[in-house]
Amino acid sequence: MATIQERVHAAPAEPAGVRHVESLRAVLAGPVLLPGDAAYESARRVWNSAVDRRPAAIARCTCTEDVAAAVRFAREHGMEATVRGGGHSFAGFSVRDGALMIDLAPMKKIRVLGGRRVATAQPGLTWGEFNHATATCGLATTGADISTVGIAGMTLGGGMGWLHRVYGAACDNLLAAEVVTAEGRVVRASKDENPELFWGLRGGSGNFGVVTSLEYRLHEVDRIVGGITMHPLERARDALRLYCELCEDAPDPLRLALFLITAPPARFVPESLRGRPAVMMCGAYFGPLDEGERALKPLHDFGPPMVDLIRPRRYLELEHRTPSEHYHHHGTGEFLDRLDDGTIDALVDAAAGTVSPFIIILLNQLGGALARPPEPTAFSFRDAAHSVGIHCMWNPGDSPEPHERWTRELWEAVLPASAGGVAVNLQTDEGPERIRASYGPATYARLQALKAEYDPDNFFRNNYNVPPRAGG
């Protein structure tokens, strides 16, 4: 895996398009920011502060027409372009030195039709904003567990979250999308309109255009039973075995996860546990409350826990944020077929031997509706039993090398249990072979054919890139 430093590209002195930026300002409803403008510094920043890049210009788009104009401007003037939605990826693909950033953050409109159980949303929304809007009708759809993640990138990469075992991946709940193509055309993709494009958008990431509107199917979700328990790391092996046992026969409404984590300095965490390696068991039941209490009782009984926050609550209370966003971040992941003793030992040993001030190793229960999509999509590895996410953080100014090495070594240690790849959303910038492995040969070849149709020049290449042909 390349280091952060290897992924940073030197900026050209002055991209040709910058000399013509007034023509872009003349047609955009939103502002165009250049280095030196007051809002430029904050607009170029992304969630991972290890990514420190300076685009030549930032087009702050407010509507689909702005996006189309920005795409056409970049093509006309030979500029690279990046697309920013939530800006939450490890790799920081949404910002690149010397490029035009097409910034969708101002596009935050959402329309919720409660009677039809449908929401139409713009791509600048985060999942926290989306969920709060749909919750007014007692509705939700599968979205990221982290409230600050953007809806578009997460959905286009597949999208796993609290609801995936009952309602499938985020992309399974996408009904339609409006897309600005590499030519600057606006098209609609759905089951009935441009169906091959619609297939590719659901898992193929941002390879085929800029999605400017997403229409989602919603479901009744309000009061649930869920929350966390927490123990010192010494209980981790037993906790992992309990997690495996509960996953084995879990009904679809039960979603389980387990974190090996540095206990945060939060009010609910005892002083004696803060800053120490810990195991956090998470569960939620999306069905009758009495069934939920019974299903999650083993988490109460394992212990006693140092923290026990499992109780009836509103769905919105399950949201959380990534800790300490001033940290530099690095991570990867893998789909797993199984959790055998060797994998469990590797996970616990890595958590005990971390060199980082804050780590998260997340085991995510899959299966249920996620493994039974209503129709084919580009999102792959539906039959995997678990996913593991490996995430480390360090202080600005520290060398990234030991932290990235720890991540790589743990990833290598879990590979014997791998299902064969991982969703692109869990990757950093790990090269074309890793992206190819995320889909498998047949799906990857189909995505390449679709790319050749919609973006034959690979204009949209600052992403988890699928080139239009081998080596393209």
Residue-range domain boundaries for the chain: 4-103, 110-220, 223-426
146 strand-pairing partners: 320
Total-model pTM = 0.94
Percent of the chain's residues with pLDDT above 70? 95
User: How many CA atoms lie within 13 Å of 194's alpha carbon, on the beta-carbon side?
Assistant: 19
CA distances from 170 to 239, 369, 436 (A): 29, 11, 21
Q: How far is CA 108 from the centre of its chain?
A: 18
**In CATH terms, are 4-103 and 223-426 the same topology?**
no
In this predicted structure, what is the pLDDT of residue 14?
64
Q: 4-103, what's its fold?
A: 3.30.43
DSSP calls for 279-319? EEEEEEE-S-HHHHHHHHHHHHHSS--SEE--EEEEGGGG-
What is the Cα gyration radius of the chain?
A: 22
Contact 237, 279 (CB under 8 A): no
Rounded Cα distance, 213 and 176, in Å:
8
Comparing 1-5, 171-175, 254-258, 303-307, the range with the smallest average pLDDT is: 1-5
- pLDDT band at residue 152, thresholds of 50, 70 and 90? very high
Tens digits of residue pLDDT in 21-44: 999 999 999 999 999 999 999 999
In the block, residue with structure tokens 């904050």: 42
Q: First vs last Cα of the chain: how many Å apart? A: 21
Tens digits of residue pLDDT in 357-376: 999 999 999 999 999 999 99
* Matching CATH number, 223-426, of 1.20.810.10, 3.40.50.970, 3.40.462.20, 3.90.1300.10: 3.40.462.20
Q: Is the pLDDT of residue 471 over 50?
A: no
Pairing label, strands 57-60, 100-103: parallel
Query: ∠164-168-173 over CA atoms, to 5°?
Result: 120
CA distances from 381 to 82, 362, 370, 421 (A): 28, 18, 10, 8
* Matching CATH number, 110-220, of 3.40.50.620, 3.40.50.300, 3.30.465.10, 2.40.30.10: 3.30.465.10
In this predicted structure, what is the pLDDT of residue 323?
57
In this predicted structure, what is the pLDDT of residue 468?
96
In this predicted structure, what is the pLDDT of residue 342?
97
Q: Is the pLDDT of residue 82 over 60?
A: yes
The residue type of 146 is I
- pLDDT band at residue 12, thresholds of 50, 70 and 90? very low
